[in-house]
Structure 1
């Protein structure tokens, strides 16, 4: 796990290539095996930010055991730079929400990660 959900008003020409490349970047950045990374790209032409429909994004990252203030700063730098380069979104036109729900609050394989990892 982590799960990354990106919503943007920038239409990506090759969505499959975009999410596959982003999955690799997310794995490297979050220091998690790509086999556990899930990426969802949502195009929303009506996404507004600061009262306009100029290029913008919203992203939510749900991850276990690696979300904290120091690392979030590092992650933000990488992801904002990436979205500027790939989507043309300026740094003041997006938000990233970081969530670590705790192992007991994330299900997988018919149980939770608390059970999988022995609490």
Structure 2
């Protein structure tokens, strides 16, 4: 179970490399008092990963002003062999730079990976 608090929707990457987002709307923590947050659920299978990340991981534009987006981020992760291959932040940053066609990324990136081992 999880709930959103103003951040990007979490991404589930299944062992077969398919991806889905978990829509978890909600205002940022601390902005308003007594806000009822809605819980969402996701059923994970052994080998599935749940990724939480900052907007800097997908709000990246290329030279044509096209947005990478969450689907684009999932595609890059798949091209890097994830989840069969461990998450490699250096490789991910390199691919994000290639997409942006810039000399450096314009925003910070934070990614938290939780892998379900089936126990």
Q: Same fold by TM (over 0.5)? A: no
Output the TM-score relative to the length of structure 1. 0.34
Q: TM-score, normalised by structure 2?
A: 0.34
As a proportion of its length, which structure holds more helix? 1
